[in-house]
């Protein structure tokens, strides 16, 4: 079962990996989402866009990123919370340059899930987790 989920996840990410895509909502364990290491330096939310500042090693090959919300449900608190995990594919880049990059994603799918669940829009705390860690950076998102 775990292998099947992994192959499905790889297929999804091959098709949609980019630096300016929408958040993908799934029920996949975070350890299957997070592929290659990165350091999460900061996040900023402006309107429906979340921008992540990340640092990673590389410099010789293209790197691809996607952002996943998992589980596909909100943590019940006030305001509710959404857990997001960054998928990073380094393409096997063995170079050691330290790259710092801002990558952006559209949060609208999270807002639409909130509206379909609660019937309206309201504040959502967005938690973005560091690589293979329980450490996170959080920010408020106010969809309209």
Distance between CA atoms of 2 and 133, rounded to whole angstroms? 20
Distance of CA 39 to the CA centre of its chain: 13
Name, in order, each residue with C-beta under 8 angstroms of 13's C-beta and a sequence gap of 6 or more. 64, 66, 87, 89
For position 1, what pLDDT does the model report?
A: 56
Please report the sign of the dihedral spanned by the C-alpha atoms of residue 141, residue 133, residue 99, residue 17: negative
| Arithmetic mean of pLDDT, 109-119 | 98
**Domain parsing of the chain, residue ranges:** 2-141
Of 128 and 7, the one with more pLDDT: 128
Name the fold adopted by 2-141. Answer: Immunoglobulin-like (2.60.40)
Flag whether pLDDT at 19 surpasses 50: no
Q: Give which of 28, 34, 64 is closest to 128, Cα–Cα.
A: 34
């Amino acid at each position: 079962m775990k292998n099947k989920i992994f192959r499905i996840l790889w297929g999804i990410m091959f098709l949609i990996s980019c630096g300016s895509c929408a958040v993908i909502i799934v029920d996949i364990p975070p350890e299957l989402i997070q592929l290659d290491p990165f350091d999460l330096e900061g996040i900023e939310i402006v309107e429906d866009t979340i921008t992540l500042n990340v640092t990673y090693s590389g410099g010789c090959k293209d790197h691809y990123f996607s952002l996943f919300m998992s589980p596909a449900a909100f943590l019940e608190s006030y305001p509710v919370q959404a857990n997001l995990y960054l998928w990073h594919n380094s393409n096997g880049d063995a170079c050691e340059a330290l790259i710092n990059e801002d990558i952006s994603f559209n949060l609208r799918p999270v807002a639409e899930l909130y509206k379909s669940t609660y019937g309206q829009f309201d504040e959502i705390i967005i938690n973005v987790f560091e690589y293979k860690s329980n450490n996170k950076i959080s920010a408020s998102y106010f969809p309209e």
